[in-house]
Amino acid sequence: MTYRQSIEDSLSGQMLVAMPGMQDPRFEKSVIYLCAHSSEGAMGLVVNKPFEAISFPDLMEQLGIEETPVGERIDVQFGGPVEQSRGFVLHTPDYVREATLVVDEDVALTATIDILRAIADGFGPSRCLLALGYAGWDAGQLDAEILGNGWLNVAADDDLIFGEDLDIKWQLAMDKIGIDPRMLSDDAGHA
């Protein structure tokens, strides 16, 4: 199987890791969980960049949701540059509702206000990440970026997705791949 064949298969449920020479500053040292990847395009959430403009309590107040003392406080993250006013909760599949997309046996995605109410009331998923915005690619765009040395991919795990120390996720992903970022070239090679 060639590399081209392997990326044509779905990368849903895997992590994208930005190459050290990523040209787009919005994605510099980003780690992205891919929620969907097909011939029609791809969608994912950045899991290692805080959304500085708003906190979870502020968001709950804006939405008119009262937090209870048992409610879990979570950080709001920058999910990507597309639709930054739209919220997405990446979470464990112990919370699944009609509007939930179950990505795989370990991760689900819900983008309704009901999950925020459940989190505020202490009845949400056991682990979650709240992101505003998402990263999206048109048909073939992500595959071309991977072939152009923009991204690496690695299997997802709980620490990469839900780990609280955002600053180390990119290095953890590189370590998991077994690559020293200092040894990478930004130029695509050809045999």
Between vectors from CA 33 to CA 16 and to CA 185, what angle results, nearest 5°?
10
Global pTM? 0.87
E-strand ranges in 22-127 read 31-38, 41-46, 76-78, 82-91, 101-102, 108-110
Q: What is the pLDDT of residues 3-35, one digit of tens each?
A: 333 444 689 999 999 998 888 899 999 999 999
Q: What is the pLDDT of residues 50-60, one digit of tens each?
A: 988 888 878 88
Strands 76-78 and 128-138: parallel
Which tokens belong to 100? 């939930």
Neighbours of 147 (CB within 10 A): 13
Question: Domains of the chain by range and CATH?
Answer: 3-183 (3.40.1740.10)
